[in-house]
Structure 1
Amino acid sequence: MPVPALSDAEAVEVARDLGLRFAAGAAERDRQRLLPTAELDQLSGSGLLAVTVPREFGGAQLGAETLAEVFRLLAAGDPNIAQIPHSHFVYVNAMRTQGSPDQQAFFFGEVLAGKRFGNAQSEIKSRHVRDHATTLRPAGPDEWILDGEKGYCTGALFAHWIPVLAHRGEGGPLHVAWVERDAAGVTVIDDWDGLGQRTTASGTVRLDGVRVPAGRLTPYHLTFEKPQIYGAFAQLLHAAIDAGIARAALSEAAGFVTTKSRPYPDAGVERAAEDPLIVHTFGQLELQIRAAEALLAEAGRAVDRAGADLNATTAGQASLAVAAARAMTTAASVDAGSRLFEVAGTRSALAALNLDRHWRNARTHTLHDPAAWKVQHLGRYAVDGTLPPNHGQL
């Protein structure tokens, strides 16, 4: 059954409602590492996973600013659930920019039918994040054989299609091989053991002699041979997840302080929520999180502006805006996840409450890309107007 088409306002409202629903079980899922299979089915059925499909293929083609807010609201409920479809949207974008008309018609049709894309991109044994050993070798004029092993494959376990980043030929150009989740030779292993984001199932994908028709390959290398917002779009969604974690941590801290915390005697107040030192700390965190949310919204608008008029300058400005958002949301989420204990007091440290999941989620997710490099590129631009490099991490 086709999923419903949503307007900007409808998408935000649906995300807000789902975020509230997902929040109810987030602590227990984290504690027991219960994978959110049913919740992902709700997300798929809501229509949110199809909101960026282009209009000419029957989609709503909603912009980056709206999608960032959707991710922020989902992450405020459960950042694990928000992270799982991150690659789905990134590869919908990849198909939009590099797919042939026939490929687009097929795969966008899959998305509109409720199908999910995963990810098999990074390699744990590689020298760095942009180094890949997975290879496609020819098996005839219209077929390739795919071999390799990928790690950090968020979304793959729950996917219908797994886009795999691989060299076409030994040392050849990078392509995306679109592989069905249950294809022969594909093994998805739930071996993710992170201290945070515990229920994303970001495990291993092994590819052993997987047969891929030529019509299921799209070029990846061409993405970065001209100005692009592919990287900025992907990074924007990461920033939105961190902003959601920060807001959730502060909200839960406020709920605890107003209902469970005892006042410190020297404050001379009846309620912990009236302690001026606690109120001041909440004010500091609120200021930091509001700044992160504002930078996130502006980054979304910058990506949308660049998409409407794409050139080296607009693409660079979008990357800088997203870099600022990522640096700020990194600090806000880690700080809020830690300082919630400072305001909530000793009782908040009880393991049964599982309030430390906010810090663990923030600390784990913010490791995707070093925030220091975001600041470095911002600094270079501030000093002499140097635009950031044209790659997928910005």
Structure 2
Amino acid sequence: MTVEVPATDPSVYASYEAKWASLPDTADAWLARAREVAQLLSQDAAQRDQENKSPRAEIALLKHSGLLKLLGPKKYGGGEQPWSVGYQAIREVAKADGSIGMLLGYHLLWSTTANVVGTPEQIERTHQLIISNNYFVGGAVNPRDSDLKITSDGDYIVFNGAKHFNTGGVVSDLTVLEGVLEGTEGHIFALVETRQPGIEFAHNWHNIGLRLTESGGVKINNIRVPWSDALGWDASTKTPREDTLLIPFATLLLPTIQLVFSNFYLGIAIGALEFASKYTTHGTRAWPFGGDNKESATDEFYILERYGNFFAHLRATEALADRAGEQISALYIKYGSNRSALTAEERGEVAEWVASVKVVTTDVGLRVTSGVFEVTGARATALKVGLDRFWRDIRTHTLHDPVAYKNRELGRFALLHEYPEPSWYT
């Protein structure tokens, strides 16, 4: 049974399909495109957050912009940009709308999953499928839940199970499924068409933040996938190919998505400061009982001090995030065609760069998005202002995996020079 849920109207952005018919051709042009998208989203971001409608219009906007193709090969119509540019694009979009920045980030990860764990043939086929159709990719991969069960049925594998959380699935064209093959400990990723009877969304994402990410539950019932689409597996022997799944390169998927998280945290925090600064400039009143009274709030020492401190910490965090993005990009460029050459030490080193960013963006992001209320004033708490959405968005996702474990991991690295064991969150 089809469930009708309120959704935003894709037609509001229809004119941008023609306006953005050509893809950007340089890194700077791609980031300029991301800023154009952000400017459009910023116009009604607070209203859309409060209405909590399924983001069909916003996904259409991402499609029109070409940002879904940013990392894909040029031969199929992609932008062929490195992950370092992808991370910055996520950040730009998240400045205006944390939910849509998150959806873009997850799409970029899931749409390039085959690059990490797929065979060369699967990589090419997946890119052609996604880019030529301008598909948006969601994912039902939540390691905290029980794994989906996979059984083999001739030339097919069959997925069954449920996830409490999936990201963007309701508005996706393709969904990444992941589970464990019956009788083995082998994990299998596969991309499937979202719109089929065996994928049932719960439509129960009613959380305090990231309200437009469609991150609710999903049931997977007898979804059949050709063995040839089991990423990284040999369809004839029905076993993992050692050159795809059993090497450090295959575990790059985890630090890659952890850095996606940090970049939309950072974008949200920068967006909060920019939003608050406009409010302070035009709406915050000077405090008349301080003994050193000023005519304007923008002349008050404590307001200037807070903005300066927030700005400094965000600028430093941005530099750290860019450095980590360059580190990951370098590994993909160096080892993309020779995946078995990546060492565990190189993988561990980049994981600790990413862990450092996760710790700092969490700490700074939460401090800035809550602290901006101190420099905007009581009236800034009005629902119509919408300043609260920045804190709610960061607070919601920073609980994804406890940052305390990242601090512990970094402590072992700093104190004992131990690299982390690859896991679903490292």
**TM-score strictly above 0.5:** yes
User: 2:152 — aligned with what?
Assistant: 138
Separation in 2, partners of 1:69, 1:383 = 31
SS at match of 1:137: strand
Give the match's secondary structure for 2:72. Answer: coil
SS at match of 1:89: helix
CA RMSD of aligned residues (A): 2.1
Change (3 A) 1:217 1:3: farther
Residues 87 and 105 in structure 2, CA contact (< 8 A), matched pair in contact too: no
| DSSP-derived class of the 1:198 partner | coil
Q: Structure 2 CA distance, aligned partners of 1:172 and 1:231?
A: 19
Could you say which residue in structure 1 is the equivalent of 2:5? none
Residue identity in the other structure for 2:257: A
Does the residue aligned with 1:206 lie in a helix, a strand or coil? Answer: strand
1:71 aligns with 2:94: no
Q: Where in structure 1 do 4 or more consecutive aligned residues deviate above 4 Å?
A: 55-58, 220-224
CA contact (8 A) 2:174 2:191 kept: yes
Range with bigger deviation, 223-232 or 317-326: 223-232
Task: State the alpha-carbon separation in 2 of the partners of residues 380 and 240 from structure 1.
Answer: 24
Match of 2:45 in 1: 26
Picking from 206, 211, 218, the partner of 1:205 is 218
Partners of 1:3 and 1:45 within 8 A in 2: no
Number of residue-to-residue matches in the alignment: 387
Q: How does 1:269-348 map to 2 (within 5 A)?
A: 269-307=294-332, 308=334, 310-348=342-380
SS of residue matched to 2:80? coil
Amino acid across the alignment from 1:240: N
Q: Which moved more, 1:99-108 or 1:297-306?
A: 99-108
* Match in the other structure for 2:167: 154
Asked if 1:84 is matched to 2:110, the reply is no
Distance in 1, Cα, partners of 2:195 & 2:371? 44
- Contact (CA 8 Å) 1:49, 1:111: kept in 2 or not? no
What is the distance in 1 between the residues matched to 2:189 and 2:22? 26
TM-score, normalization by structure 1: 0.92
Q: Does 1:371 align with 2:371?
A: no
In the alignment, structure 2 segments of 5+ residues that lack a partner are 1-16, 234-239, 336-341
Task: Please give the per-residue CA displacement for 1:63-99, whole angstroms capped at 9, x wherever unaligned.
Answer: 1211111010010010101112333222233211222
Are 1:135 and 1:170, in contact at CA under 8 Å, matched by a contact in 2?
no
Superposition pairs of residues 93-112 of structure 1, within 5 angstroms: 93-112=112-131
Segment drifting more, 285-294 vs 87-96:
87-96
* Structure 1: segments with no counterpart, 5+ residues: 124-128
Contact in 2 for aligned 1:132/1:167 (Cα 8 Å): no
Partner of 1:48: 67
Other-structure match for 1:163: 176
Shift of 1:54: 3.6
Distance (Å, rounded) in 1 between the aligned partners of 2:175 and 2:103: 13
Within 1, Cα distance between the matches of 2:317 and 2:127? 32
| Distance apart, 1:55 and its partner CA | 5.0
Separation in structure 2 between the aligned mates of residue 368 and residue 287 of structure 1, nearest angstrom: 26
Query: Residues 57 and 104 from structure 1, CA distance in 2 versus in 1: closer, same or farther, beyond 3 angstroms?
Result: farther
How big is each residue's C-alpha offset from its partner over 1:307-364, in whole Å with a ceiling of 9 and x where there is no partner? 3253222222211111111111111211111111111111111222221111101100
Residue matched to 1:126 = none
Return the offset for 1:262: 1.0
Identity of counterpart residues, as a percentage?
Answer: 27
Q: Does 1:389 align with 2:421?
A: yes
Distance 1:300 1:7, change over 3 A: same
1:145–1:210 contact (8 Å) kept in structure 2: yes
Q: What does residue 119 of structure 1 align with?
A: 139
